[in-house]
Amino acid sequence: MLLGISADTSKAQKSFAEKNDLPFTLLADSDKKVAEAFGVMKEKNMYGKKVWGIARTTFVIGPDGKIQHIFEKVNPEGHAEEVLAYIRELSKSAP
């Protein structure tokens, strides 16, 4: 299962998903509780100013519900292929 989540509102998520014809569910975390629980709220540097925001991160969660891998400082360009390659390798080594 693939889920996306961001601090955008549900309305903004729906619009983004429709505009980009996304084949997966987007979840809204507008109060940033999930981001805080997963430890992705970080100090960032935006245009020379320190700000508190969400660090783009991907979590691979196994069937047992445990985090198997974390991709930090994600660059959207080429990231889907990177994650897919990781999951393919993971499935090769599965019993």
- Locate the domains of the chain by residue range: 1-39, 56-95
Reported as a pLDDT band with limits 50, 70 and 90, residue 1 is: confident
How many Cβ atoms from other residues are within 10 Å of residue 57's Cβ?
Answer: 15
What is the pTM for the complete model shown?
Answer: 0.82
How many Cβ atoms from other residues are within 10 Å of residue 4's Cβ?
Answer: 13
Comparing CA positions, the residue from 91, 90, 85, 83 lying closest to residue 2 is: 83
Q: What is the pLDDT of residues 13-69, one digit of tens each?
A: 999 999 999 999 999 999 999 999 999 999 988 899 999 999 999 999 988 999 999
